Amino acid sequence: MTRLSARLAAVLLALALPATTLATDYTVQPGSTLGFTGTFQGAAFHGSFKTWQATIRYDPAQLAQAKFDVTVQLASVAVRDKDQQAALPGADFFDVARHPSARFVTTGLHAVGGKVVADGTLTLRGVSKPVRLAVTFTPNGNRATLDVSSVLKRLDFGVGRGDFADTSVIGADVTVQAHLLLQAR
């Protein structure tokens, strides 16, 4: 085999092999939301965080390369009830004086029963625990939406101490959800 034919064979082989693509990096666009729902005395209440940053890499065909890294400024919490608004940043709940931020970092994304889940570690109030997010990704050209949700046990992270640890008054479960509008970089 001549050098030219060897090179030609190598080029043809490379073209025949499936191309490995990298997952896409996205920037989070205005209009994205990060919120939560809990219960107080049996009634649902909703809150959100106004200040947070997210690094998102995603491709549904390349889940092994996907990653989420989200940091939330806990003092940016917003709820409608003024008493809850005053209490949440305090030492019994988020304790923002000692723990100003929470962070979620994926450890892996994979398909489970036809759905995508993101396993990761959430650090909140200095406590790090594994968390699993349900993921829905909807591409639209170089834009996409990413919806994630999870149910957390607030006491696992020390949120609601003292009298507020009573789960008959403030429910044990808190649903966290995000709706991200994404733009490919």
66: three-class secondary structure by DSSP: coil
pLDDT at 45: 96
Task: Assess if residue 56 is contained within a domain.
Answer: yes
Q: Which pLDDT does position 2 carry in this prediction? A: 59
Task: Give kind and range of the element (H or E) at residue 45.
Answer: strand 43-49
Residue corresponding to tokens 């049996």 = 42
95 assigned to some structural domain: yes
User: Residues 110, 67: contact at Cβ < 8 Å?
Assistant: no
Q: Which tokens in the block code for residue 143?
A: 């834009």
Does residue 136 belong to any structural domain of this protein?
Answer: yes
Rounded Cα distance, 85 and 79, in Å: 6
What lies within 8 Å, CB to CB, of 65 at 6+ separation is: 22, 23, 57, 59
Global pTM? 0.87
CATH of the domain at 63: 2.40.128.110
In a domain, 177, yes or no: yes
Asked if 47 and 34 count as a contact pair (C-beta separation under 8 A), the reply is no
Report the pLDDT value the prediction gives residue 61, as an integer from 0 to 100.
Answer: 93
The number of domains in the chain is 1
* Nearest C-alpha neighbor of 135 from the set 69, 180, 74, 173: 180
Confirm whether 9 is domain-assigned: no
pLDDT of residue 12: 43
Kindly give the confidence (pLDDT) of every residue in the chain, 185 residues in length, as a single tens digit, with 9 standing for 90 and above. Answer: 555 454 544 444 444 444 445 799 999 999 999 999 999 999 999 999 999 999 999 999 999 999 999 999 999 999 999 999 999 999 999 999 999 999 999 999 999 998 999 999 999 999 999 999 999 999 999 999 999 999 999 999 999 999 999 999 999 999 999 999 999 99
The token pair that represents 42 in the structure block:
């049996």
Please state, in angstroms and rounded to a whole number, the distance separating the CA atoms of residues 118 and 98: 28
Question: Looking at the domain assignment, is residue 2 inside a domain?
Answer: no
Helix (DSSP H) and strand (DSSP E) numbers for the chain: 2, 11
Find, among 44, 158, 21, 172, the residue nearest to 102 by Cα. Answer: 158
Q: Domain containing 88: what range?
A: 21-184
Q: Is residue 15 part of a domain?
A: no
Coil, strand or helix at 173: strand
pLDDT of residue 47: 98
Query: What pLDDT score does 22 carry?
Result: 77
